Amino acid sequence: MEQLTVNPWAALAYLVAGVCFILALRGLSSPATSQRGNRYGIIGMTIAVATTLIVHAPTLAVYVDSSPMAGVPRHVDRPFNLDLVTLVEILAAIGIGAAIGLVTARRIAMTDMPQLVAAFHSLVGMAAVLVAAAAFLNPQAFGIADMVIPMIGQPFLVIHQVSRIEMGLGIAIGAITFSGSVIAFLKLNGNMGGAPILLPARHVINLTVLAAILGLVAYFTQDQSAWVFWTITALSFAIGFLLIVPIGGADMPVVVSMLNSYSGWAAAAMGFTLHNSAMIITGALVGSSGAILSYIMCKAMNRSFISVIAGGFGAVAASGGGGAKVDRPWKRGSAEDAAFLMQQAEQVIIVPGYGMAVAQAQHALREMGDKLKEHGVRVKYAIHPVAGRMPGHMNVLLAEANVPYDDVFELEDINSEFAQTDVAFVIGANDVTNPAAKTDKTSPIYGMPVLDVEKAKTVLFIKRSMGGVGYAGVDNDVFYMDNTMMLLADAKKMVEEIVKSLD
């Protein structure tokens, strides 16, 4: 077996990059330090990429006859003899990818950030698939195979058994991540409905396919035939599709977090194949942090992780509260009414949701909060863990609008205050304020902790029309309560009108 030599300077550089990634995750845990966390991530990735390019710079090679009798050629790299053509191709690929990423990040609206994250996860998954395929087709270039010279017949390459395990797991997780992220993107982008698509006997099908993948990965360690490798690939693409299609739209934040974890484990598996410690460290960090975040979000939703990935949440959406009940009596208010009520209040709790993101109303909302503070009103913002369509979506939007971090509170920290609050101002948040989650066992959101906005003295609820329902497809009883005033309009326009009325 070929012995791999480790460059001590490269190992040190990868260690520094790993520390930067850890500091990045630490920084991203709070909006107040998120910019610093992003900087650490950029520095770490720059170090990792630069080190990899230096250590694995493409060189021209010569072939020598290692066994004159067998006639088996062996290539030997010539140091300092760069293969400029290959190097230019690598740098060009990096440049093209960087340009696409920069343009996309600058042009993408904050509303579409969940779709962008899902798309990026799909690229990570596909990258893992392509690396695994390249390693399988040309294992000698990756240093993961030995040449076997039989007594009779032609020499052939035997991939190391441990490398086959890494390759099988890497391509399986990568393919699942890719196809699952594509479905998540289509659901988030509106190309597919948010309601779960329930296939007959889906659990049996999923378990059978997963068992077949695991069995083939085990068999691949004994037989490196091409049909085994490509069957694992095909089944993994299929199960990624099958796992995400039955999941309802209200679960999308958990799905995005879960796919983030998958992409990390795929990268870690490929790191072992490439003998790259930076990929192993980064993948493990992303995979573990994504898994922990998924667990935290499932706990916040009072759901088990297994029920989410099995598509259980939302599976009974049609049986309870599915349609909008527009024939029930409700009260409509104006911007002037809302401004008057909030001016007279001692405390206003603002509850943002995806409707605020769609309308891009976060800046107007921050201006409204500032105006209320000038009138002596205490203003707080209540964030539900799964508000929006990805983890931290509302936090990002409020931070973009320079809302003070001290004014933003998570569900468990502020829910008890609604009973002593004069006005709960809900802007485009339906499912996370729906009391059906506490009372209606037939509702698809039953059991999910929600913000108790109905306990406030007055609820001001902004939505476009009474005909629409939340992403989970469930009507909200808060709309029809005696203490609720509906403000039907585009969220940004309504908040701007309220701001004018506060002058």
27-61: per-residue pLDDT in tens? 887 777 888 899 999 999 999 989 988 887 776 65
CA-based angle 104:129:189, to the nearest 5? 40
Assigned token pair, 171: 């391509």
More confident residue, 417 or 142: 417
What pLDDT is attached to residue 319?
Answer: 42
The yes-or-no verdict on residue 3 having pLDDT over 50 is: no
What pLDDT is attached to residue 218?
Answer: 93
What pLDDT is attached to residue 62?
Answer: 55
CA atoms of 147 and 145, how far apart (whole Å):
7
What pLDDT is attached to residue 300?
Answer: 66
> Partners of 147 in the beta sheet?
157
Contacts of 24 (CB under 8 A, 6+ apart): 37, 38, 40, 41, 44
Region of poorest pLDDT, from 328-332, 372-376, 497-501: 328-332
Q: What is the pLDDT of residues 161-198, one digit of tens each?
A: 888 888 898 899 999 999 988 988 888 877 776 666 77
CA atoms within 13 A on the CB side of 326: 7
CA atoms of 500 and 503, how far apart (whole Å):
6
Q: Summarize the confidence of residues 301-326 as an average pLDDT.
A: 54
CA atoms of 179 and 182, how far apart (whole Å):
5
pLDDT band at 81 (very low <50, low <70, confident <90, very high): low
Residue identified by tokens 């690598």 is 90
Q: Summarize the confidence of residues 417-433 as an average pLDDT.
A: 91
For 423, phi then psi, to 5°, come to -135, 130
Q: Summarize the confidence of residues 204-215 as an average pLDDT.
A: 91
Q: What is the mean pLDDT of the chain?
A: 82
Give the active site residue among 251, 370, 431, 503.
431
pLDDT band at 290 (very low <50, low <70, confident <90, very high): confident
What pLDDT is attached to residue 318?
Answer: 41
Q: Summarize the confidence of residues 483-501 as an average pLDDT.
A: 92
Residue identified by tokens 């509260």 is 321
Tally Cβ neighbours within 10 Å of residue 501: 18
Contacts of 53 (CB under 8 A, 6+ apart): 90
Q: Which residue, 330, 302, 320, is CA-closest to 478? A: 330
Q: Residue 402 in 3-state DSSP?
A: coil
CA atoms of 203 and 180, how far apart (whole Å):
16
Q: Which residue, 178, 173, 169, is CA-closest to 216? A: 169
Question: Would residue 477 show up in a list of annotated catalytic residues for this protein?
Answer: no
Tally Cβ neighbours within 10 Å of residue 138: 12
SS3 content of the chain, % helix, strand, coil (to 5): 60, 10, 30
Contacts of 209 (CB under 8 A, 6+ apart): 235, 238, 239, 242
Q: What is the pLDDT of residues 91-126, one digit of tens each?
A: 899 899 889 988 888 888 777 778 888 888 888 899
The yes-or-no verdict on residue 350 having pLDDT over 90 is: yes
Q: Are strands 59-67 and 72-82 parallel, antiparallel or unpaired?
A: antiparallel
CA atoms of 250 and 246, how far apart (whole Å):
12
CA atoms of 491 and 364, how far apart (whole Å):
9
Percent of the chain with pLDDT over 90: 29
Q: Are strands 484-488 and 378-383 parallel, antiparallel or unpaired?
A: unpaired
What pLDDT is attached to residue 349?
Answer: 95
pLDDT band at 407 (very low <50, low <70, confident <90, very high): very high
What would the DSSP string read from start to end of 40-108?
HHHHHHHHHHHHHHHHT--EEEEEEEEETTTTEEEEEEEEEEE-HHHHHHHHHHHHHHHHHHHHHHHH-
Q: Is the pTM of this model over 0.85?
A: no
Assigned token pair, 286: 């992303």
What pLDDT is attached to residue 105?
Answer: 81
What pLDDT is attached to residue 453?
Answer: 93
Assigned token pair, 396: 């990002």
CA atoms of 383 and 379, how far apart (whole Å):
13
pLDDT band at 211 (very low <50, low <70, confident <90, very high): very high
Assigned token pair, 174: 């990568």
Q: What is the pLDDT of residues 317-345, one digit of tens each?
A: 444 444 444 567 889 999 999 999 999 99
For 179, phi then psi, to 5°, come to -70, -35
The yes-or-no verdict on residue 200 having pLDDT over 60 is: yes
What pLDDT is attached to residue 395?
Answer: 85
In order of 54, 249, 458, the CA distances from 79 in angstroms are: 12, 55, 75
CA atoms of 445 and 438, how far apart (whole Å):
9
The yes-or-no verdict on residue 4 having pLDDT over 80 is: no
For 379, phi then psi, to 5°, come to -115, 130
What distance lies between CA 81 and its chain's CA centroid? 42
Cβ(221)–Cβ(160) below 8 Å: no
For 318, phi then psi, to 5°, come to -75, -15
The yes-or-no verdict on residue 158 having pLDDT over 70 is: yes
Q: Residue 381 in 3-state DSSP?
A: strand
H-type alpha helices, 189-225: 202-220
The yes-or-no verdict on residue 67 having pLDDT over 60 is: no
The yes-or-no verdict on residue 76 having pLDDT over 60 is: no
What distance lies between CA 436 and its chain's CA centroid? 27
- b (16+ CB within 10 A) / e for 217-226: beebbeebee
